[in-house]
Amino acid sequence: MSRVKKGVLCCLVAVMAACAGLFSSCALFGWEPSVEDYTPVGTREELFAMEEDGYYRLTADIDMGGQTWTPISLKGFDGGGHTISDCQIIGAGFFVDIDTLSNVAFDSVTVLNGYSVAVGGRAEQMEGVSVKNSTVTAAGSDELINKIGLIAGFVKGEIKNCTAEDSRLICSSLDDSAYIGGIAGWSSGGGEKTGCIARNIDIYAANTGYSDTDDFLVGGLFGKVDNGEISDCLASGLTIEADATKSGGVSVGGIAGYFDDYTSLSGCASVGNTIAASAKNSVRMGGVAGISYAETTDCYASGNTLECTSSLSSSSSCYIGGFVASAMNNVKSSFAVNNTLRGNVSEDEYYVAGFTPNIHGAIQNCAVAENELAGGNSDEFAFVSNMIFNCYITDTAKGGNCNGLEELSSQDWFSPDEITQKLLLDETVWTLNAGGFPEIVFE
């Protein structure tokens, strides 16, 4: 064998040996360990001993005993279904950046001057991550501050079966653009966002710098989603307050502040949320979303209260929709019922509609019922549009019906066969019971 060949062979053997013992350094070669190969962590001391850019898995619940945790970046962390509880984090979140985070719960965590409980910076993908009984406080401005969420600041890929509940997200004195959500501030990069649930959380966001409705985005689950398929997600019992009265505008919604192009939304619900917004300039607020470019089907908003309290200038406006404020793409087989929508009755710049006040896509087989409207301009469903097809209002409507939509009686609504036919509902998505509105059941 030649000296050159011997040298190449020795190098390959050395690389293979290095990968066998130090697997976390071998991502360079496109190889990553399976979860079974992750370094086990079963005690508080082992958790504190984790090294940057490694792969780890929990083997037991860990009570941090109120200790302060220093954020760390890893390649992979699998919680094995276990819980990390009772700790304080100053800055970022438990992890700064991570490629894969899965099967872990965080309980009773306090984050000061950070961006998230689980991942303060970037996560490539998350599955089975939950946060409860926790508080995140963010203030000021730096390179991460515009992406804030209870579970993650920014997720580049898939988000599956993640839950935030009984927690608070407080974002004061933000400067310029900001994306804020109960699950994640910003979700991008395509892939599924499915099975995400936010329950009983409070979100407060105040922007003191200049912003507009496209870059100050607040949502019960996501501030902004700009690529991917969103399905089977629920926002329930949330209190959201967004304030841009210093110099800006805001877009806010029960599920998301903003859905961008290349997104789709299906099988999602916004139920029993209280949303308030105020701004110096324009406001967009909706039961499901503020501004939505998502193709949407089989979704609903029910029992929400939306209120805009701004005193707007003549060049600004406030759009409030029981479903969405601005429907920039097609919406099908969806409805908004039993919502309370309040604008400033004395100002003409307020536009309040039971479904959506601003239409740019086709609205097909959608309906409203029993919504309470108050605002400078209002309509039971939507303002004049030639993009509304086979849509309905309730026969007890008291407000305007400028599109002359057909009325549905309670008998129609509460008959599974009738409402399925009228709205073309996907029966694999909906629970249809005689005597009640259709609903989607979440675990």
pLDDT (tens digit per residue) in 117-162:
999 999 999 999 999 999 999 866 555 458 999 999 999 999 999 9
Segment 91-107 shows an average pLDDT of: 97
Number of H helices, E strands in the chain: 4, 47
Closest CA to 285 of 313, 245, 247, 258: 258
Segment 335-343 shows an average pLDDT of: 96
Please tell me the distance from the alpha carbon of residue 33 to that of residue 298, in angstroms, as a whole number. Answer: 39
Residues whose CB falls within 8 Å of the CB of residue 42, separated by 6 or more in sequence, listed in order: 58, 59, 60, 62
Q: Which residue has the tokens 């026969």?
A: 395
Share of the chain above pLDDT 90, in %: 74
What length does the chain have? 443
pLDDT digits (tens, 9 = 90+) for 203-256: 999 988 777 787 899 999 999 999 999 999 999 999 999 998 877 889 999 999
Segment 397-425 shows an average pLDDT of: 94
Please tell me the distance from the alpha carbon of residue 278 to that of residue 126, in angstroms, as a whole number. Answer: 33
Q: Hey, what are 70's tokens? A: 């220093």
Segment 98-104 shows an average pLDDT of: 98
In the predicted model, is pLDDT for residue 358 greater than 80?
Answer: yes
pLDDT digits (tens, 9 = 90+) for 41-53: 999 999 999 999 9
CB 185 within 8 A of CB 225: no
Please tell me the distance from the alpha carbon of residue 24 to that of residue 321, in angstroms, as a whole number. Answer: 49
User: 271: pLDDT confidence band, cut at 50, 70 and 90?
Assistant: very high
In the predicted model, is pLDDT for residue 14 greater than 60?
Answer: no
Segment 75-94 shows an average pLDDT of: 96
User: 17: pLDDT confidence band, cut at 50, 70 and 90?
Assistant: very low
Longest Cα pair distance anywhere in the chain, in angstroms?
Answer: 92
Weakest-pLDDT range from 79-83, 208-212, 225-229, 309-313: 309-313
Average pLDDT of the chain to the nearest whole number? 90
Q: What is the pLDDT of residue 3?
A: 38
DSSP 148-188: EESSEEEE-S-EES-EEES-EEEEEEE-S-EEEESSEEEE-
128 versus 7: the higher-pLDDT residue is 128
Segment 298-309 shows an average pLDDT of: 95
CB 218 within 8 A of CB 250: yes
Kindly report the number of other CB atoms within 10 A of residue 139's CB atom.
15
Please tell me the distance from the alpha carbon of residue 342 to that of residue 340, in angstroms, as a whole number. Answer: 7
pLDDT digits (tens, 9 = 90+) for 173-207: 787 789 999 999 999 988 899 999 999 999 999 98
